[in-house]
Structure 1
Amino acid sequence: MSTNGSLNRKLRMALVGGGQGSFIGRVHATAAVLDNRAALVAGALSSNPERAKASAPDYDIPANRAYGSYR
């Protein structure tokens, strides 16, 4: 496992946007974890909470970590 210097662990990150029907969300998620120094653990994938939860499996995010808002 690659780590982030003094953190000695992967950076835990969330994705904002990128729900079902989005193209660029997948691109950003892939790029973020490409060097194996970050892990996608949550996301505000859509402003529609149901769509956000439905999109979570596309990113291997647990449904309880998919939100309809970044706030």
Structure 2
Amino acid sequence: MTIKYNICEKRHEKKMTQKQLAMRAGISTAMVSFIENDKRQPTFLVIASIAKALNVKLDELVEIKDKYHYFRQ
């Protein structure tokens, strides 16, 4: 899954509009739209703000492979 997909999915689960998410995350509605439509790659700080606004852990939005998994391959 991609960041854009995860953000959009979590936002829909919370029944939030892009505008509501933007207001809670302290970013513009346009930025949320750009991220969800894969027109912009969000910075780490923006992803962290979105995670906080959605009340989810950061790793629910970003796929992070642990070191064990990385070196095992």
TM-score, reference length from structure 1: 0.30
Q: Which has the higher strand share?
A: 1
Q: Which has the higher helix share?
A: 2
TM-score, reference length from structure 2: 0.30
